[in-house]
Amino acid sequence: ADFVKLTTPNGFTYEQPTGLFINNEFVKAHGGETILVEDPATAKKIVEVQSGTKEDVNYAVDCAEKAFKSSWSTCDPKERSRVLLKLADLVEQRKELIASIESMDNGKALRLARGDVGIVIDFLRSSAGYADKLDGRAINTGDGYVNYTIREPVGVCGQIIPWNFPLMMLSWKIAPAIAAGNTVILKPASPTPLNALYFASLCKEAGIPAGVVNIIPGPGRAVGETLTTHPKIRKIAFTGSTGTGKGIAIKAAESNLKKVTLELGGKSAHLVFNDANLEKTLPNLVNGIFLNAGQICSSGSRIYVQEGIYDKLLPAFKKYVEENISVGSPFVESNFQGAINNKMQFDTIMNYIAIGKEEGAKVLTGGKRVGEEGYFIRPTIFYDVNEDMRIVKEEIFGPVVTISKFKDIDEVVAMANDSEFGLGAGIETENVSTALKVSKMLKAGTVWVNTYNDFHASVPFGGCKQSGYGSEMGIEAFESYTSVKAVRIKI
Ligand code: NAD
């Protein structure tokens, strides 16, 4: 099973692990099945990796439970900190290789992959700092008792992630969980298992004990469902689509009422007020919707422009996108946008572009694929839309955005909040009162003002409504991997 020598398109040769990572070993899957991993820029095969089964998950759970009980949950937290810091150093030392693996596997532009790896390094270090902060409260009840709370790790955790940020999502899941003393079994998405397995080899090199981190690629129906329903797993952390997330919440409850956190889909609104500074706004709109080719759950995929700036913004946005967003090979440094991750997603996006045209929306720019090989799509902007169109209502998860016009705060907040989702939101304004007032009115887990898709290791990220519940990053993520115990002593 174990390792295959691979060379990334920009010339890094390395040993790619291809086995399941269980108990600090790369092993063959029980069923003998494999996952074919392809390069989205060429649609050609890169390698095959082992595809896990129910038996593999059961074995990993036993190993993770043993590691949890024998040492990891009770060791000196400084030890958990130390190995997380070592892991961050290892990722930093191989930053360029890891970014290249990410671009090869996911299709994203190398410049973006480098940014992802930077966030991963920061986040590993930030999480290392939480390890010794399983704090509680002393509660003065004034009734002759001493009361206090402590936080404890929950146990073995199952984690399931999508393909759009394979390494970043993995770090957002694993780091806070193990910092708090839990052990984990993570399932990467089938199109993008390469960095997850490479990261596993770094976990071992950093000195993380056997059984603490386990990585099992495999089908959602086999590996994902076994994690979700396993009686010994105490928490499931899921990032992916809203439909899959709902199914997971139900099965997790039915099996053993395990804790669940869900980071799901979105259809986020990005508001541009008359007083916005256009020079700053244009790159923010681009980061909102064309970063990672729009395959970001918090993408600002509905742009709302106030009527006083509408006629100026549209031609300026078109010009800016056509001149600055080059689409093509992830490994050409000047390219801002790489490939869509997989054929199914490519077809979904192209279908939504056709739907938008049929619904009568006008195309300001884009609307086509780029080239014949691989999965590249031009940044696409629709205008003259109405709020009932499917392209305005449904998550597309690609480089496609709609622009609508608004009069005032009340109207735009009503339009922005008229969505089943509540993940991100953006406000472009130079007026601090507008920024504060509108941030309060928007139903979203994150509101960005004069920036967009701008993440920080210390700032929580999560959704409301059908975008899910629970947070990634910040102390909130760390706390979500703990449960509170209250102690009440009569004196
Ligand atoms: P998906 O829901 O199809 O798959 C996500 C993961 O779940 C994959 O690893 C998949 O194998 C697994 N899975 C599938 N069926 C399962 C089952 N029955 N039980 C357990 N696991 C199962 O989503 P996707 O297409 O990989 O990702 C795109 C979606 O993810 C978009 O809707 C996007 O908005 C969302 N997303 C959300 C966030 C966030 O933080 N809120 C971040 C990234 C992506």
Tell me whether 0.90 is exceeded by the ipTM.
Answer: yes
Q: Ligand 1 pocket, 305 CB below 6 A?
A: no
Q: Which atom of ligand 1 is least distant from the CA of 262?
A: 41
Residue identifier of the C-alpha nearest atom 31 of ligand 1: 241
Q: Which two structure tokens, joined as six digits, stand for 333?
A: 């440094």
Measured in Å, residue 162 CA sits from the centre of ligand 1 at 5
Measured in Å, residue 220 CA sits from the centre of ligand 1 at 9
Q: Ligand 1 pocket, 276 CB below 6 A?
A: no
| Residue to mutate (ligand 1; options 239, 345, 349, 453; most atoms within 8 A of CB) | 239
Report whether 183 contacts 213 (CB < 8 A). Answer: yes
Q: What is the SS3 string spanning 66-118?
A: HHHHHHHCCCCHHHHHHHHHHHHHHHHHCHHHHHHHHHHHHCCCHHHHHHHHH
Q: Which atom of ligand 1 is least distant from the CA of 162?
A: 26
Q: Ligand 1 pocket, 164 CB below 6 A?
A: yes
**What is the rounded distance in angstroms from the CA atom of residue 241 to the CA atom of residue 238?**
9
Report CA-CA distances (Å) from 475 to 122, 148, 149, 156, 160.
Answer: 14, 20, 17, 20, 21
Q: Ligand 1 pocket, 463 CB below 6 A?
A: yes
Helix (H) or strand (E) holding 126: helix 110-130
Q: Ligand 1 pocket, 397 CB below 6 A?
A: yes
Q: Ligand 1 pocket, 453 CB below 6 A?
A: no
Report CA-CA distances (Å) from 64 to 20, 72, 183, 218, 220.
Answer: 14, 10, 6, 18, 20
Q: Ligand 1 pocket, 473 CB below 6 A?
A: no
Q: Which atom of ligand 1 is least distant from the CA of 263?
A: 41
Question: If we measure between CA atoms, which residue out of 431, 440, 409, 425 comes closest to residue 275?
Answer: 431
Please tell me what DSSP assigns to residue 272: E
Report CA-CA distances (Å) from 160 to 3, 19, 181, 357.
Answer: 24, 18, 19, 35
CA 160 to chain CA mean position, Å: 11
Q: Ligand 1 pocket, 224 CB below 6 A?
A: yes
Report whether 48 contacts 202 (CB < 8 A). Answer: no
pTM: 0.97
Measured in Å, residue 305 CA sits from the centre of ligand 1 at 31
Measured in Å, residue 332 CA sits from the centre of ligand 1 at 29
CA 175 to chain CA mean position, Å: 14
Q: Ligand 1 pocket, 424 CB below 6 A?
A: no
Q: Which atom of ligand 1 is least distant from the CA of 219?
A: 11
Match 């970043």 to its residue by tokens.
168
Measured in Å, residue 153 CA sits from the centre of ligand 1 at 25
Report CA-CA distances (Å) from 455 to 126, 213, 451.
Answer: 13, 25, 10
Residue identifier of the C-alpha nearest atom 22 of ligand 1: 220
Helix (H, G, I), strand (E, B) or coil at 372: coil
**What is the rounded distance in angstroms from the CA atom of residue 273 to the CA atom of residue 136?**
44
Helix (H) or strand (E) holding 442: none
Match 């395990």 to its residue by tokens.
258
Q: Which atom of ligand 1 is least distant from the CA of 227?
A: 20
Measured in Å, residue 161 CA sits from the centre of ligand 1 at 6
Q: What are the beta bridge partners of residue 449?
A: 427
Measured in Å, residue 314 CA sits from the centre of ligand 1 at 33
Question: If we measure between CA atoms, which residue out of 31, 453, 437, 474 comes closest to residue 219?
Answer: 31
Q: What is the dihedral of CA 86, 92, 94, 95, to 10 degrees?
A: 150
Question: If we measure between CA atoms, which residue out of 2, 9, 4 comes closest to residue 329?
Answer: 9
Residue identifier of the C-alpha nearest atom 8 of ligand 1: 189
Q: Ligand 1 pocket, 341 CB below 6 A?
A: no
Q: In what order do the strands lie in the sheet with 20-22?
A: 25-27, 20-22, 213-215, 183-187, 156-160, 233-239, 259-263, 468-469
User: In sequence order, which residues have a C-beta less than 8 Å from that of residue 347 and are 6 or more positions away?
Assistant: none
**What is the rounded distance in angstroms from the CA atom of residue 462 to the CA atom of residue 159?**
16
Q: What are the beta bridge partners of residue 214?
A: 185
Rg, C-alpha atoms of the chain: 23
Q: Which atom of ligand 1 is least distant from the CA of 461?
A: 40
Please tell me what DSSP assigns to residue 361: P
Q: Ligand 1 pocket, 241 CB below 6 A?
A: yes
CA 436 to chain CA mean position, Å: 27
Q: Which atom of ligand 1 is least distant from the CA of 423?
A: 41
Please classify residue 251 by burial: count the beta carbons closer than 10 Å to its beta carbon, then call 0-12 exposed, 13-18 middle and 19+ buried: middle
> Residues with catalytic annotation?
263
Strand segments, DSSP code E, in 240-375 are 259-263, 269-272, 302-306, 362-365
User: In sequence order, which residues have a C-beta less than 8 Å from that of residue 433 and are 6 or more positions away?
Assistant: none
Sequential pLDDT tens for the chain (491 residues): 589 999 999 999 999 999 999 999 999 999 989 999 999 999 999 999 999 999 999 999 999 999 999 999 999 999 999 999 999 999 999 999 999 999 999 999 999 999 999 999 999 999 999 999 999 999 999 999 999 999 999 999 999 999 999 999 999 999 999 999 999 999 999 999 999 999 999 999 999 999 999 999 999 999 999 999 999 999 999 999 999 999 999 999 999 999 999 999 999 999 999 999 999 999 999 999 999 999 999 999 999 999 999 999 999 999 999 999 999 999 999 999 999 999 999 999 999 999 999 999 999 999 999 999 999 999 999 999 999 999 999 999 999 999 999 999 999 999 999 999 999 999 999 999 999 999 999 999 999 999 999 999 999 999 999 999 999 999 999 999 999 999 999 99
Q: Ligand 1 pocket, 221 CB below 6 A?
A: yes
